[in-house]
Amino acid sequence: MHYAEEQAGTHLQAQERLDVLRAIAASMDSDAAEESSDDDSPPPPPSSSSSDEQKEGEAQQWSGDSAAVQAPPFVAPSGKQHEARRAQSPLEFLQLFLTPALMQQIADYTAAHAHARGAAEEWQTSASELYAFIGVHIFMGICRLPEWHMYWSHDYQQPFVAAAFRRDRFEELLRYFTVSEPGAHHHRDDKLSRTRPLIAHLQRVFPRMFAPTRDLTLDEAMIAFKGRSPIKQYIPSKPHKWGYKVYCLASQNYLLHFEVYEGREEAAYEHGSTHETVMRMTQQYHYCNHILFIDNWFTSPTLLDALKAKGMRACGSVRRNRRGMPPISLAQERNLRRGEWIKRQKGDMSVSVWKDQKVVWLLYNHISSGETASLERWNEDGERVSVGCPKAIHDYFYNARSVDVVNQLHYSYLVGRKSTRAWWRLAWWLIDMCITNAYQLWAIANPGINQLNFREQLMRALVKELQSDQEALRVSRGQYASIALAKDHYTVSAPAADDCAVCSHRPARRTRTHHICAKCQVHLCMGRCFASYHSRGE
């Protein structure tokens, strides 16, 4: 299917889902309006009490007693969807996101960008070559060297890389590679114009291939970058403090949706931009009875009420000074010993203040405050002990990790080379999210395989895509396309010396050598003769 047709089909499916959700919301709002119209009593007048009296009234609503809370059952389907059910190999899973049509479009963009920067008119690339280009970057993420040209050097040469591309060709791809139309680079109002097409494509495709389980995780991620960019952020609490901030929604370590933070929003929202971000990120999963796990940057009583109205429960760490929180003094916190906690409940919303090494505040409405569990922790003697806690704490510790796991998988084998170009690091993060999500889909049917093995299989399959395209192979490796992988062509010692197949053909000169090519079984002098023979495709 053509890329444009694929985009249109995906957009239509998303629009149909949103129409259904809007219809459900509209029917619920109309029912609520009918109920309110049946009530003849006038609405209560606005309160004119002082802020102290308001806080006292809120405090009286919170109680130390526990009441039963039963979250609606989750019945939506989950797991692989659509084409993901038919994919078998690592390459097929990656091509769910980086489709051949998309890669061909990126190849066209790259060629146009090359011509705009002065490349020869006949300079071209292809989807097969860009697949191999990504495969080589996967290898470089596993076997890292300080400079990219060292993979072709005499002392550090890596046969996998040197066999896939000539150094000059790889340098050209590094210089010209782009994921957007060259004319779109001049949109100053759009800070993400260089990656906008790829971002929009992945935002449509990621949720289409996997239906989440009941538990969702929303958190911030950092794309490490220290160059110049108007949207670069500094977050001291993150392992990578400088870079692009990305809001990520994940389930079962699969990235469902993401938004790149582009700076402070000018629009004024009733409950703030952070509240609006959460509602926008989770919009596709409203009215499905999911449980959203979030951290204290997002959590507030107002947000939990808003999510509940949209058919979603939540659980998250919370700051004690959020509006509407119960008044629990610092003295009460200090009196807690490890494994003890304070609980407060208002309706189906609960707050638990639990003491571990530090005090943890948790706000939730998916279970009651009276349910308990335990966690394995380390004591002062370095031994693992069981520490009692509210069940909500246990749920939060084990279900709020998906975004963190996605980040760990990404930084374990970081793809892409360093660059001063602001969009470059973001583009390779997007590509690596495709690899990470492909791994998660692959792991469903192959639970014993780890990420390293998956990436090794994937990089070999991507390079083979180049071997199947003879024209791309000719361009990437030089004039002759009959060169096999360097892992097959290497020198070994022969029992007897014989004439070199290259330099012995020269007039009045014969050179005998003990070295032969393991693949070709031809006597060749080490160095220039060996390279000259294989570059001629003999």
Average pLDDT, integer, range 347-370 = 94
The strand ranges marked E within 252-295 are: 254-260, 290-294
Segment among 322-326, 334-338, 358-362, 506-510 with least mean pLDDT: 506-510
3-state secondary structure 42-94: CCCCCCCCCHHHHHHHHHHHCECCCCCCCCCCCCCCCEECHHHHCCCCHHHHH
Residue with tokens 């097929």: 92
Q: How far apart are CA 13 and CA 15, in angstroms?
A: 5
Sign of CA dihedral 91, 95, 97, 102: positive
Cβ atoms < 10 Å from Cβ of 70: 9
Give the burial string for 287-305 (b: 16+ CB within 10 Å, else e): bbbbbbbbbbbbbbbebbe
Residues 293/301, Cβ–Cβ less than 8 Å: no
pLDDT confidence of residue 506: 61
Backbone angles phi, psi at 495, to 5 degrees: -60, -35
Residues 229/244, Cβ–Cβ less than 8 Å: yes
DSSP 8-class letter at 148? G
Between β-strands 215-224 and 290-294, what pairing exists: parallel, antiparallel or unpaired? Answer: parallel
Q: Pick the residue with more confidence: 529 or 469? A: 529
Q: How far apart are CA 70 and CA 72, in angstroms?
A: 6
User: 130: buried, middle or exposed (CB in 10 Å: 19+, 13-18, 0-12)?
Assistant: buried
Cβ atoms < 10 Å from Cβ of 527: 11
Cβ atoms < 10 Å from Cβ of 458: 22
Q: How far apart are CA 420 and CA 399, in angstroms?
A: 37
pLDDT confidence of residue 508: 59
Q: Pick the residue with more confidence: 220 or 39? A: 220
Split at pLDDT 50, 70, 90, the class of 184 is low
Helix (H, G, I), strand (E, B) or coil at 234: strand
Residue 103: both structure tokens together: 């890669």
**pLDDT tens-place string over residues 190-216:** 888 899 999 999 999 999 999 999 999
pLDDT confidence of residue 442: 95
Cα 23 versus chain centre, distance: 31
3-state secondary structure 351-378: EEEEECCCEEEEEECCCCCCCEEEEEEE
Helix (H, G, I), strand (E, B) or coil at 223: strand
**pLDDT tens-place string over residues 131-171:** 999 999 999 999 999 999 999 988 888 989 998 998 999 99
**pLDDT tens-place string over residues 35-79:** 444 444 444 444 444 455 555 455 558 988 888 998 999 988 999
Residue 351: both structure tokens together: 């707050």
**pLDDT tens-place string over residues 263-318:** 887 777 888 899 999 999 999 999 999 999 999 999 999 999 999 999 999 999 99
pLDDT at 437 over 90: yes
N-term to C-term CA, the chain:
40
408: left (phi over 0), alpha (psi -120 to 50) or beta: alpha
Cβ atoms < 10 Å from Cβ of 251: 24
Between β-strands 312-317 and 359-364, what pairing exists: parallel, antiparallel or unpaired? Answer: antiparallel
